[in-house]
Chains A and B, each alone.
Chain A
């Protein structure tokens, strides 16, 4: 363990990380977002889902620094007297959860397809990459919306409410796999002709095993970069779907849902209900994007 840490502190990655103040700042911000979301039940000042503590007298409180603000509601409260800050922390939980799960899903599908296409070559490669090309012609959000719409039409409402979260994860994940598949296929094409693969083949290791234990670890570098940048895209996709009313169920509001609710009160002057969840979303996405940019540059040997 200690040796692993020592090795990490000595690595190029750590060196380029320490040299970039922007990256350090965004890592700190991202960490704060993740911890705040993960430990929301312990850290949030209120429980926005506990109906017993909600009081309509507390509805529409402006942020604490405004003239009629209440220190108990730091960022104000919404139409039902829910604390905005707490709602954001719980909402970020849903946003991050859906984002991470859908990226992992997209990654699993994409890496599997890319590895198979690159390693098998020929007709399999042609077919799989053609499918990826066709899907890439259409924007992710359209595909996610469509999958969500079909699920809504195909499942009875009661069932749909229960699996809505999985539907969203599936919809966003399935809309993002081609990026992974194309990258992995590209690196696999390079790797499969290298000598270690030929050597493995000569000593009679099975094709599946060569693919999984020899080629796979060597093509994962770029995947990490796409996954990081993909996470911010997935968070945006989820927020967009929820804003459009097609995403996560009402009972588990994400940041997008909160913005949609706040949107209804924008014209009557209660701007904080939509704006603060929006800012939280921007901060989260921006920090992940900056981390992804840094990772891409740090892992790219041409830029060293």
Chain B
């Protein structure tokens, strides 16, 4: 177990190193922070002093090491656009994004799995065909368009739900949550559906395919021969054995949810990290972009790691081969 964990962490390190290098290169070579910080009037001596104080006269690797050291302490400097510490900006926006991502994941799993089980069990019913058509459309629809259509129907035409923002939030410690107020919950509905729809269709198709596969196996036939109730066979035996790939895909998609939160947050003007990132891209605010990139990379690497470990926990075959027998 320990060897497996260590080997996975060792594989994750180069990824982080590459991303850190890219972030640093953006910092160091894109745009000119000295020119931005000096403004219009300056003498050559002032410029030299600033360059020295920022450490820009140091060799590349010294600068990179310093950047890494600062990044490990959550120091990414000041945002060019807002002149505030990047770490502070991100920390303030993180709860909004995390709550949205959590609700979207919840939507996609709680609806996607039952739909997948149903379409797997009753593959020829009209409802299954409807679900499958719906999933094809779900895959073809860009996220932002789903959001716009939902706003049009539920905010503009029906006037049931808010079209932008988080509603009222409550401060719990440093965490601002929208989960505790009625308007906050209402504001979460449309963005969560928008963000979760793609994952929902993916999970549904995956569960369906796995169910079809599992229902053909001998142990299901044997369970039927033993006279077990359908409910026990379908949920206790069949669904349970489809869960390994579902956990993997759902886990890996969690990263996708956080990335696509950028789009959803823009559509709904949701004050999260994604909106911050988009505003930074549009105004070439490199420190925020670099910090966001590192953060997202960390999230992705962690998710991959956790999924691998879950695999290990769920699939006993892995324990025998010590990781060599991974995959199909």
B262 and A141 contacting across the interface, CB-CB below 8 Å: yes
Which 10 A-B pairs give the minimum distances between C-beta atoms?
Answer: A153-B284, A149-B281, A139-B259, A286-B140, A153-B30, A236-B142, A142-B259, A154-B30, A243-B144, A285-B140
With a cutoff of 8 Å between Cβ atoms, the chain A residues found around residue B289 in the complex are 146, 149-150, 153
A244 and B163 contacting across the interface, CB-CB below 8 Å: no
Contact-size category for B = 35 or more
Q: Does B31 contact A (CB under 8 A)?
A: yes
A-contacting residues, B24-60, CB 8 Å = 26, 29-31
5 other contacts beyond A145-B262, A150-B30, A263-B267, with CB at 8 A cut-off? Answer: A138-B297, A138-B300, A148-B281, A271-B156, A289-B140
B-binding segment of A113-121, A180-188, A275-283? A275-283
B124-145 interface bits toward A, Cβ cutoff 8 Å, 1 = contact, 0 = none: 0000000000001101111111
With a cutoff of 8 Å between Cβ atoms, the chain B residues found around residue A149 in the complex are 280-281, 284, 289
With a cutoff of 8 Å between Cβ atoms, the chain B residues found around residue A142 in the complex are 259, 262, 296
B152 and A266 contacting across the interface, CB-CB below 8 Å: yes
A271 and B152 contacting across the interface, CB-CB below 8 Å: yes
Q: Which residue of B lies closest to A242 (CB)?
A: B144
Q: Which of A137, A145, A269, A282 sits near B141, CB closer than 8 Å? A: A282
A154 and B31 contacting across the interface, CB-CB below 8 Å: yes
Q: Does B196 contact A (CB under 8 A)?
A: no
Give chain A nearest CB distance to B34 CB in angstroms.
15
A-B contact pairs, 14 of them (CB 8 A): A130-B14, A138-B300, A139-B259, A145-B278, A146-B281, A149-B284, A152-B282, A153-B31, A243-B142, A263-B148, A266-B148, A266-B152, A271-B156, A289-B136
A259 and B140 contacting across the interface, CB-CB below 8 Å: no
With a cutoff of 8 Å between Cβ atoms, the chain A residues found around residue B139 in the complex are 289
A286 and B137 contacting across the interface, CB-CB below 8 Å: yes
Q: Does B256 contact A (CB under 8 A)?
A: yes
Q: Complex formed: what's the CA distance from A141 to B277 in Å?
A: 13
A137 and B300 contacting across the interface, CB-CB below 8 Å: yes
Q: Which residue of A lies closest to B297 (CB)?
A: A138
Q: Which of B141, B148, B155 sits near A274, CB closer than 8 Å? A: B148
Report which B residues bind A (CB closer than 8 A).
14-15, 18, 26, 29-31, 136-137, 139-145, 148-149, 151-152, 155-156, 163, 255-256, 259-260, 262-263, 266-267, 277-278, 280-282, 284, 286, 289, 293, 296-297, 300-301, 304
Q: Complex formed: what's the CA distance from A281 to B145 in Å?
A: 9
B263 and A141 contacting across the interface, CB-CB below 8 Å: yes
Q: Does A240 contact B (CB under 8 A)?
A: yes
B-contacting residues, A122-179, CB 8 Å = 130, 134, 137-139, 141-142, 145-146, 148-150, 152-154
B15 and A232 contacting across the interface, CB-CB below 8 Å: no
A267 and B284 contacting across the interface, CB-CB below 8 Å: no
A152 and B266 contacting across the interface, CB-CB below 8 Å: no
With a cutoff of 8 Å between Cβ atoms, the chain A residues found around residue B155 in the complex are 267
Q: Which of A138, A152, A240, A275 sits near B144, CB closer than 8 Å? A: A240
Q: Complex formed: what's the CA distance from A147 to B306 in Å?
A: 28
Q: Which of B137, B145, B152, B286 sits near A153, CB closer than 8 Å? A: B286
Give chain B nearest CB distance to A172 CB in angstroms.
13
B163 and A267 contacting across the interface, CB-CB below 8 Å: yes
A134 and B15 contacting across the interface, CB-CB below 8 Å: yes
Q: Which of A137, A239, A267, A269 sits near B15, CB closer than 8 Å? A: A137
With a cutoff of 8 Å between Cβ atoms, the chain A residues found around residue B29 in the complex are 154
Q: Does A246 contact B (CB under 8 A)?
A: yes
B156 and A152 contacting across the interface, CB-CB below 8 Å: no
Q: Does A41 contact B (CB under 8 A)?
A: no
B260 and A259 contacting across the interface, CB-CB below 8 Å: no
A261-298 interface bits toward B, Cβ cutoff 8 Å, 1 = contact, 0 = none: 00100110101001100100110011001000000000
Report if A278-B263 is in contact (Cβ < 8 Å); known contacts: A154-B31, A246-B278, A266-B151: no
Q: Which residue of A lies closest to B293 (CB)?
A: A146
B281 and A259 contacting across the interface, CB-CB below 8 Å: no
Give chain A nearest CB distance to B209 CB in angstroms.
14
B282 and A246 contacting across the interface, CB-CB below 8 Å: yes
B156 and A266 contacting across the interface, CB-CB below 8 Å: yes
Q: Complex formed: what's the CA distance from A243 to B281 in Å?
A: 13
B263 and A282 contacting across the interface, CB-CB below 8 Å: no
A267 and B259 contacting across the interface, CB-CB below 8 Å: no
B259 and A138 contacting across the interface, CB-CB below 8 Å: yes
A240 and B263 contacting across the interface, CB-CB below 8 Å: yes
Give chain A nearest CB distance to B199 CB in angstroms.
12
B140 and A232 contacting across the interface, CB-CB below 8 Å: yes
Q: Which residue of A lies closest to B280 (CB)?
A: A149
Q: Complex formed: what's the CA distance from A111 to B314 in Å?
A: 37
Most buried by B among A138, A142, A246, A278: A142
With a cutoff of 8 Å between Cβ atoms, the chain B residues found around residue A232 in the complex are 140
Q: Which residue of A lies closest to B288 (CB)?
A: A149
A275 and B15 contacting across the interface, CB-CB below 8 Å: no
A244 and B142 contacting across the interface, CB-CB below 8 Å: no
Q: Complex formed: what's the CA distance from A259 to B26 in Å?
A: 31
Report if A139-B260 is in contact (Cβ < 8 Å); known contacts: A240-B142, A269-B156: yes
Give chain B nearest CB distance to A234 CB in angstroms.
12
Give chain B nearest CB distance to A266 CB in angstroms.
6
Give chain A nearest CB distance to B270 CB in angstroms.
14
With a cutoff of 8 Å between Cβ atoms, the chain B residues found around residue A289 in the complex are 136, 139-140
